Amino acid sequence: ERKTIVRSEVRRGRDLHARTHTYAHTHAQFFEILCPQPHAIVQDIMRNVTRQDPCMPASLIRLHFHDCFVRGCECDASILLNNTATIVSEQTSSSKQKLNQRIRFD
């Protein structure tokens, strides 16, 4: 269940970014209207996830570190990519196995 919550929030964030990225410049209060309480929402979700799995905050920090800072602050979400004919996913990397045990990527 905790993995489902994290998965759905990651997916919701990606979808939100895809929908808003192009139009964000059109209205000064765009994000205030779209999501008036982002900090409260994230805090509530993290509180619930942490109750279910006290190690999840550390796992998310580790995910952020491995995805963003290894290549000099390039956050490309590459750890979310699945294996394909042309991509060898970071999810299958031996160095990511502990991370993958805590967070399931879909």
Q: Which residues are catalytic?
A: 66
CB 56 within 8 A of CB 6: yes
Distance CA 16, CA 4 (A): 18
Is 89 annotated as contributing to ligand binding?
A: no
Distance CA 97, CA 94 (A): 5
Is 78 annotated to bind ligand? Answer: yes
Whether residue 76 is annotated as binding a ligand: the answer is yes
Does 72 appear as a known binding residue? yes
**Is 70 assigned to a binding site?**
yes
Binding residues: 67, 70, 72, 76, 78, 90
Binding residues for Ca(2+): 67, 70, 72, 76, 78, 90
